[in-house]
Amino acid sequence: MPKHVTSIDVAQLAGVSQSTVSRVFTDMDSVSPDKRQRVLEAAHELGYVPNAIARSLTMKRTNIIGIVMANLTSPFYPYVLEKFLQHFYQMDKQTLLFTAAPDQDIDDIMPHILQHRVDALIITSAKLSTAMADECLRYGIPVILFNRYILDSNANAVCTDNVEGGRVVANLLLDTGHQRIAYIAGQPNASTNTDREKGFSDRLRERGVKEWLREEGDFFYQSGYDAAVRLLSRPDRPDAIFCASDNMALGAIDAARYGVGLHIPQDVSIIGFDDIPMAAWPSYRLTTMAQQVDVMVAETIDLMLRKIEEPDSKPALRLVPGRLTIRGSVRGIQP
């Protein structure tokens, strides 16, 4: 077996202290150029690689960020994950991805997650109880919720302003002359769905609309397809459908075209929420309320770093405005 090279070996060959070797690999600017060069040459000659686990024990931080996701079959969250990974790579931080079933509470797998002693936990498309969020803080692990929030929780959160987004969609459909409007809901206990529907329905009522159709979905493509078939097979079928996610909206477009035989947007307008990459495909050209993912990711990381440095800071909820993206799935308006 080859000998395991340690920082002590590097220090002896370079003629410096062990602490100097450590600083070269953790805070290089604090070491003089001459000593830094000697340490790097000695490390290269000996084949030395710093031990991240040992370093984490010394610093009392693992430099690992946990990301919890469900619904990975939805195009939105792999897109979000890629953004986070890009940022953390640039920050020289490692990531651990934990997954849960779409209908599974994170509470069920949290004991496993806590064993990894991550420096912070970002939770995206999964449900976490207030009690478990508090338990994470008791272990000294900041929790940042992305694209969701928990009322009366100690967890920080970053969300699109979903209520305002729903209001913007209602205004768009009414301003373009639609009269028979429908909503396809996402999972009922998700704050994203609750807020989008609240903004949408409140604005419809404010503008004098007393009735509209509604179908249940679950944010997945097939539920949007099935719900749209039910709506568009009615004798009083809607002339516009707002879907709580783009994934369902794509299903609704395909249902209208291939399941019922209608034209988009001449026979029915369809609008989504998220602006996943597929929404811009020529076959869909989906008008949607876009989430500004880059801004949301940056806000999430900012909150995370603040909470790591200031554990006793008060929890914050940051709302990021959505952006209406006009394409070709709503009649009466040009992109």
The average pLDDT across 91-98 equals 86
Average pLDDT of the chain?
A: 87
The predicted pLDDT at position 56 comes to 53
Strand 181-185 with 240-243, pairing: parallel
The CATH number for 162-291, chosen from 2.40.30.10, 3.20.20.70, 3.40.50.2300, 1.20.58.110, is: 3.40.50.2300
Place of tokens 């003629």: 15
Domain range list for the chain: 7-50, 64-160+293-322, 162-291
If one compares 314 and 28, the residue with the highest pLDDT of the two is 314
29 secondary structure, DSSP code: G
State pTM to two decimals. 0.80
Kindly report which listed range (24-33, 85-94, 162-171) carries the lowest average pLDDT score: 24-33
The predicted pLDDT at position 102 comes to 60
Specify whether the CB–CB gap between 169 and 289 falls below 8 A.
yes
Please provide the DSSP assignment of 98-162 as one string.
EE--TT-BGGGTHHHHHTT--SEEEE-SSB--HHHHHHHHHTT--EEEES---TT-S-EEEEE-H
Of 118, 56, 57, 64, the C-alpha closest to 92 is 64
Confidence label for 256 from pLDDT (cuts 50, 70 and 90)? very high
Measured distance CA(246)–CA(75) in Å, rounded: 9
The predicted pLDDT at position 50 comes to 72
Percent of the chain with pLDDT over 90: 50
If one compares 76 and 139, the residue with the highest pLDDT of the two is 76
CA-based max dimension of the chain: 87
The predicted pLDDT at position 155 comes to 80
106-127 confidence digits (pLDDT tens) = 777 777 777 777 888 898 876 6
Of 299, 213, 291, the C-alpha closest to 247 is 291
Confidence label for 174 from pLDDT (cuts 50, 70 and 90)? very high
Q: What is the CATH number of domain 7-50?
A: 1.10.260.40
The predicted pLDDT at position 222 comes to 96
Question: Is 162-291 in the same CATH topology as 64-160+293-322?
Answer: yes
213-240 confidence digits (pLDDT tens) = 999 998 999 999 999 999 999 999 999 9
The predicted pLDDT at position 1 comes to 44
The average pLDDT across 145-158 equals 83
The average pLDDT across 186-206 equals 93
- Which are the contacts of 96, defined by CB distance < 8 A and separation ≥ 6? 64, 65, 66, 67, 116, 118
Q: Is the pLDDT of residue 194 over 50?
A: yes
The predicted pLDDT at position 25 comes to 76
The average pLDDT across 73-85 equals 88
Q: Is the pLDDT of residue 54 over 90?
A: no
Measured distance CA(292)–CA(322) in Å, rounded: 6
The predicted pLDDT at position 60 comes to 57
- What is the CATH superfamily name and number for domain 64-160+293-322? Response regulator (3.40.50.2300)
Q: Is the pLDDT of residue 129 over 70?
A: no
Of 158, 165, 205, the C-alpha closest to 181 is 205
